[in-house]
Amino acid sequence: MSYAPSAAAVKKIDGIIAPYPEKSAALLPVLRVVQDELGCVPPEAETWVAAKLGIQPIRIREVLSFYTMFRRRPAGKTIIQVCRNLSCTLAGAEDIIGFLKERLHVGPDGTTPDGRITLVTVECLGHCDHSPCLQIDGIDHGPVTRDGVAALLEELRAHE
Amino acid sequence: MSEDAVRLIPADEGSWRLEAYLRRGGYEAARKAVMSMAPADVITEVRKAGLRGRGGAGFPAGLKWSFVPQGGAGPKYLCVNADEGEPGTFKDRAILVRNPHQLIEGMTIAAFGVGIRKAFIYVRGEYGRIAGRLREAIAEAEDEGFLGGGIFGSGFDLEVIVHLGAGAYICGEETALLESIEGRRGQPRLKPPFPAVVGLFRAPTAINNVETLANVPLIIGRGADWFLGRGLPKDGGTRLFGVSGAVRRPGLYELPMGTQLRTIIEIHAGGPPEGVAIKAVIPGGLSAPALRPDELDVTMDFDALARAGSMLGSAGIIVIGDKIPILDVLKVMARFYAHESCGQCTPCRIGTSWIHKTVMRIGEGQGRASDLDHILRLADGMKGRTLCPMGDAAALPVQALVTKFRDELEKAVAR
Ligand SMILES: Cc1cc2nc3c(=O)[nH]c(=O)nc-3n(C[C@H](O)[C@H](O)[C@H](O)COP(=O)(O)O)c2cc1C
Ligand code: SF4
Ligand code: FES
């Protein structure tokens, strides 16, 4: 299967590449555009990106496997990232993670059976003064309690 | 003079907007530098101000800039380190959110001093939304002629590119950051050559932390002596102290360099909550060796903390209360470094994962009498034997916990 991003994405990608002295340097931001569009970076997209930036496909694989924010397989529509580093642990992060696992019926790094939500645990989100904290689709929340998390899940459901 | 004008984190409404920054006297220092100073004088003034790097190592910023070769026809780059991955640290986020123009102005002055025309701001991937605000600020500055071509109508140009990371602590290490901007895995490079000579795209490169650069307009605008007066005689300015953990008022406190650690915790952050006593304090991000409650009468500056056997690092203070088992702290620490090792050097790759496995085994009640010594030996084997400072950053805080809280950990092992 071959892949080509939408015209809008291609335009965005061209804009991203332009200021870099070497095209290949735009790899991380370009992969992000692809992932935003497809939900992950599948093998056929690797081929497209490699051709676009004039690099070997293996370079794409190397980068995808190194950075935790890149996914090679689809995840849920919504991604919940819960911090479990020290400040958050001191403030009860493990309890929040346990509560989320129970509510969503998934393990960490798991997706709900309906494909809606993926739960991942992460290291420090740089929001330690609001610990325990989490990020839902890029938006920070904290400090959160069990009740607060339940309300956030309700909100997600309401926005379906 | 309003206090907001000299704060890194101002309190005025809409503080991140250009008009608010201009009201606080923004871009006057850059105008002064570009229109009336020689580049070499900019570097001299910053050297006189004793501005030490706020990213972790505390290297003097002006001295670092002076290592970048002057003149020459080829490109040179400025890289801003906004990776902020050190656990317990949330200061650069605050600058990006509340005062992005002061960072941009600092970049302009630094670039003018070093003779740079292209800069990258490496923002950690998790700060994607914050990067959006930064891009807006850059566009505002370009529209007003404070950035881009012919700054202030002079012949000086500076182009700024925001580059988002994608989740990897090691990319905060300066040479890994360069690799990451070049579109590769964030694996640190062997030094020397130092980035000042061979850096981004093999060109001379200056790399500085967000907070470091945000201080530069204050130095150029008000002078090195004023800046030194705000801190210590050889270590000028204020510092953004982040406090999290067992305190009543977690948050960011902008105080003179050299403020007492105990004062920050007890007075500013309100001390531990009712019924909690302090068991340990990590003074400068997770990689800084922990201090015991009887070691808190130390001033928060690079040299004093080094003498106390720890480091100022990112000035992210984590207060650990007496209800938390030290083993839990050790578990988080061991997991973090094992997860974040880039894997290039054997002592770091094997050492961090072996320490992690040993700590987890103790946690499962399967501890062996030799485990703590084993951990200390593994940590010793990493120190000074790795390509980048992460080997030490992983070994030292583990050793400190095991040594200082040995009695408690022995009990966990024997359980
Ligand atoms: C493992 C590791 C992680 C680091 N992470 C950061 C970081 O997130 N932000 C930062 O500014 N410096 C970080 N540093 C320090 C940088 O390597 C470098 O010293 C700094 O960006 C220089 O800027 P400064 O002199 O203005 O402090 C890290 C260093 C190491 C070894
Ligand atoms: S010390 Fe660790 S993080 Fe640094 S280069 Fe070696 S393996 Fe990578
Ligand atoms: S430890 Fe959780 S945000 Fe820093």
Residue A96 sits at the chain B interface (C-beta within 8 Å): no
pLDDT for res A159:
81
Rounded alpha-carbon distances, angstroms, from residue B101 to B2, B36, B104, B239: 18, 21, 5, 18
For residue A132, the chain B residue with the least C-alpha distance is B245
Mean pLDDT of B95-104: 98
Could you read off the pLDDT of B161-218 as tens digits, one per residue?
Answer: 999 999 999 999 999 999 999 999 999 999 999 999 999 999 999 999 999 999 999 9
pLDDT for res B289:
98
CATH number for region B238-321: 3.10.20.600
**Binary contact (A53, B183; C-beta < 8 A):** yes
**Binary contact (B245, A81; C-beta < 8 A):** no
Could you give the maximum distance between any two Cα atoms of chain B, in Å? 72
pLDDT for res A44:
94
Mean pLDDT of B137-144: 98
Q: What mean pLDDT, rounded, does chain B reach?
A: 97
Q: Which residues of B touch A85 (CB under 8 A)?
A: 87-88, 286, 332, 336
User: Which helix (H) or strand (E) is A25 found in, with range?
Assistant: none
The pTM score is 0.98
Question: Hey, CA dihedral for B386, B388, B394, B395, is it positive or negative?
Answer: positive
Could you read off the pLDDT of B294-329 as tens digits, one per residue?
Answer: 999 999 999 999 999 999 999 999 999 999 999 999
A87 touches ligand 3 (CB under 6 Å): yes
Could you read off the pLDDT of B338-364 as tens digits, one per residue?
Answer: 999 999 999 999 999 999 999 999 999
Cβ < 6 A, ligand 2 pocket: B 170, 188, 341-345, 348-349, 386-388, 390-391
Residue B1 banded pLDDT, cuts 50, 70, 90: very low
The answer on pLDDT for B410 being more than 60 is yes
Angstrom distance (rounded) from CA A54 to CA A41: 18
Q: Tell me, in angstroms, the distance from the centre of ligand 1 to residue B68's CA.
A: 18
Percent of chain B with pLDDT over 90: 98
Write down the architecture of domain B326-413 according to CATH. Answer: Up-down Bundle (1.20)
Domains of chain B: which residue ranges? 18-228, 238-321, 326-413
B106 touches ligand 1 (CB under 6 Å): no
**Binary contact (B250, A66; C-beta < 8 A):** no
Q: Which of B9, B90, B276, B287 to mutate to test the interface with A (most CBs of A within 10 A)?
A: B90
Which of the two residues, A108 and B242, has the higher pLDDT score? B242
Angstrom distance (rounded) from CA A100 to CA A96: 6
What is the number of other CB atoms lying within 10 angstroms of the CB of residue B150? Answer: 10
Q: Tell me, in angstroms, the distance from the centre of ligand 2 to residue B198's CA.
A: 20
Could you read off the pLDDT of B11-28 as tens digits, one per residue?
Answer: 999 999 999 999 999 999
The secondary structure of residue A120, as a DSSP letter, is E
Interface of A with B in 108-147 (CB under 8 A): 122-131, 135, 138-139
Q: Is B348 left (phi over 0), alpha (psi -120 to 50) or beta?
A: alpha
The answer on pLDDT for A1 being more than 80 is no
Could you read off the pLDDT of B50-66 as tens digits, one per residue?
Answer: 999 999 999 999 999 99
Q: Tell me, in angstroms, the distance from the centre of ligand 1 to residue A31's CA.
A: 25
Q: Tell me, in angstroms, the distance from the centre of ligand 2 to residue B186's CA.
A: 10
Could you read off the pLDDT of B277-293 as tens digits, one per residue?
Answer: 999 999 999 999 999 99
CATH number for region B18-228: 3.40.50.11540
Could you read off the pLDDT of A91-104 as tens digits, one per residue?
Answer: 999 999 999 999 99
Mean pLDDT of A34-56: 96
**Binary contact (B90, A127; C-beta < 8 A):** yes
pLDDT for res A108:
84
Beta bridge partners of A111: A118
